[in-house]
Amino acid sequence: MSLVTKLIWTFISLGIVTIWGLTLTGIVAKIFARVQGRLGPPVWQPFIDIIKNNAKRTAVSHGIMFYLGPVFRIAGGIGTYMFIPAIYGSLYFSNFSVSGDVFLVMYFIFFGQLGMALGAGEGGHPYSAIGVARGLAQMTAFEVPFALSVISLAVQYHTLNITEIVAAQQGGILSWTLFTNPLAVIAAMIAMLGMNMYNPFSVVIAPQETPIGPPTEYSASFLGMLATNRGIFNAAKMVLFMNLYFGGATNLVEMIVKTFCIYFFSVFIGVAFPRFKTEDAIRFFLKVPTLVGILAIAVFLI
């Protein structure tokens, strides 16, 4: 396959996963509303919001980095997905997975978060700075058990290539990392709660407060870009977890079903628990899941 054809199919894959990620956002909003006794917005509300925001213009300016923040953010989401195979064995939906590994994907995750922090920090709004501080502190905490889980996979499978990790899980459901290395899965799934920022780890966007962290001053097309990235990033993370821990997917339907089930884990926890304080969330990630991650490595080293 030529490079041009590869790029075309990768962007088609990106479009599909963006639509699925935004649909997930709408489904989750509806679920939260039903649990709270409300009717809730329609499932397609995220698409309406993006169209509406991109149709507007803003005169607000706080400097170059203020504009580049959302660009870095969406670049992190796209970069995360670009190096993950969406469908194992597919010539058209493998993206550029052969050119990277799981550590590269983790760097892209951090890149988007850091870009958002730099952009929101230049806005000057105090709530933006508070959201940035919360976000970076929590991200540093949940990256510890997630990194330990990934190291455990590297020791187990003797590779950091995502495609090879998926290939090692193709012997049936009992070959999934979920069953061959459950401690790594436990550490990673707890870390995922922090990544998705639902309760009890919603300290970054603080939905119970009127101003919601870093996006406070962004509006119009900038807010539309952030909303688009939320769809891409959410879906990309779920595809990554599906590949690392749940055997990957060999077709589009399997990918949709598995990513929905993985994402619903965060939703289930989010509607059942209240929000932690920032310091409580950090202590939590550095205790139980970190210990589980260390044990996951120790099991394969002993």
The string of pLDDT tens digits covering residues 152-182 is 999 999 998 999 999 999 988 999 999 999 9
At residue 201, the pLDDT reads: 84
Give percent above pLDDT 90 in the chain.
34
At residue 206, the pLDDT reads: 64
Give percent above pLDDT 70 in the chain.
94
The per-residue pLDDT for range 206-263, each reduced to its tens digit, is 655 545 555 667 778 888 888 888 889 889 999 999 999 999 999 999 999 999 999 9
Written as six digits, the tokens of 202 are 């919603």
At residue 138, the pLDDT reads: 85
* Summary mean pLDDT of the chain: 86
Compute φ and ψ for 42, nearest 5 degrees: -65, 160
Average pLDDT of the residues in 170-198: 91
| CB-CB contact of 96 with 83 (8 Å) | yes
Is pLDDT of 9 > 70?
A: yes
Q: In whole angstroms, how far apart are CA 45 and each of 30, 60, 67, 163, 210? A: 10, 25, 25, 34, 20
- Cα distance between residue 79 and residue 225, in whole Å: 15
Where do we find the tokens 């952009």?
Answer: 119
At residue 89, the pLDDT reads: 85
Prediction pTM value: 0.90
At residue 234, the pLDDT reads: 87
Give every CB contact of residue 186 below 8 A, 6+ residues apart in sequence: 289, 292, 296
- H helices of 197-250, where? 220-245
Q: Where in the sequence is the domain holding 56, given as residue range(s)?
A: 3-301
Number of domains in the chain: 1
Average pLDDT of the residues in 142-154: 93
Is pLDDT of 22 > 70?
A: yes
| CB-CB contact of 72 with 81 (8 Å) | no
The per-residue pLDDT for range 75-111, each reduced to its tens digit, is 888 988 998 999 998 888 888 887 668 888 888 888 8
CA torsion 20-150-146-137 (nearest 10°) is -100
